């Protein structure tokens, strides 16, 4: 017998020994439960959920077949825990040993709340979120009032207006919303100054430099005026007539 076979044989012997120990321990617990007058089904249910013994060990110790044990243990088991907030004992229904072990891990137990405390926490979190939103809105209004009252030339140089203007030009696909030109500089034109500093999208319109001047009643330089050329004139230019 070579070394590999010896090690394999030794490992099997250890595994068998551990199995015998587990079976004897299970038999001892089973005998104690009978002395206390426990019902067999109640004990097997408790034994399955409260210990780590396999179904095979439990079957050997109790003499009950495995499939019958599975019907005795039930589909769910109530696991007690203490609410992290009110410290009251509650019960959580676990559907497997793995779920039970995960639920009872110290890392998770310290965060569990009962149903009443969970609802109270959700309500409290909602109130905090609403207060935060209201505070941000008030801060934005204060900032808007400051921007609204500052000189217009200075307002146009603020980061707020540069960002807002760029976003409106991007929404307009970087072309004049009136004539559709892209070859002139684009301006973000105010339709109303009522909300200057906290404008809505509908308070402004993107115009090319020519249309912007026209909107303010200013004279448009000749180089900005696009001379419409008819299709006939273009054809004549091409053929050289």
For 72-82, the pLDDT digits (tens) are 777 788 888 88
Burial (CB < 10 A; 0-12, 13-18, 19+), residue 197, is buried
In sequence order, what DSSP letters do the residues of 171-189 get, joined into one string? HTTTS-TTT---SS-EEEE
The backbone region for 172, taken as left when phi is positive above 0, alpha when psi lies in -120 to 50, beta otherwise, is: alpha
Is the sign of the CA dihedral 188, 190, 195, 199 positive or negative? Answer: negative
Question: Can you tell me the distance from the alpha carbon of 145 to that of 121, in angstroms, rounded to the nearest whole number?
Answer: 36
The backbone region for 64, taken as left when phi is positive above 0, alpha when psi lies in -120 to 50, beta otherwise, is: beta
pLDDT value of residue 88: 86
Q: Which among 34-43, 60-69, 223-232 has the top mean pLDDT? A: 60-69
pLDDT at 98 over 90: no
For 171-221, the pLDDT digits (tens) are 999 999 998 988 889 999 999 988 888 888 999 999 999 999 999 999 888
pTM higher than 0.95: no
For 34-61, the pLDDT digits (tens) are 554 555 677 777 777 777 777 777 776 6
């Amino acid at each position: 017998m070579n070394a590999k076979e010896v090690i394999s044989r030794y490992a099997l012997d250890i595994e068998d020994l551990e199995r015998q120990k587990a079976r004897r321990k299970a038999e001892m617990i089973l005998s104690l439960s009978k002395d206390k007058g426990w019902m067999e089904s109640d004990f097997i249910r408790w034994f399955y959920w409260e210990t780590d013994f396999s179904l095979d060990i439990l079957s050997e110790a109790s003499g009950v077949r495995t499939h019958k044990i599975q019907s005795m243990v039930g589909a769910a088991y109530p696991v007690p825990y203490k609410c992290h907030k009110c410290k009251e004992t509650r019960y959580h229904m676990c559907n497997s040993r793995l779920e039970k072990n995960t639920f009872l891990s110290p890392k998770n137990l310290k965060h569990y709340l009962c149903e009443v405390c969970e609802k109270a926490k959700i309500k409290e979190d909602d109130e905090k979120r609403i207060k935060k939103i209201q505070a941000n809105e008030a801060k934005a209004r204060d900032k808007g009032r400051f921007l609204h009252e500052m000189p217009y030339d200075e307002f146009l140089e603020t980061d707020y207006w540069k960002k807002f203007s760029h976003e409106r030009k991007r929404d307009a696909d970087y072309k004049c919303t009136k004539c559709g030109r892209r070859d002139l500089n684009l301006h973000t034109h105010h339709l109303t100054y009522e909300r200057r500093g906290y404008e809505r999208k509908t308070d402004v319109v993107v115009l090319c430099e020519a249309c912007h001047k026209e909107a303010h009643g200013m004279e448009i330089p000749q180089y900005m005026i696009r001379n419409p050329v008819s299709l006939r004139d273009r054809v004549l230019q091409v053929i050289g007539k």
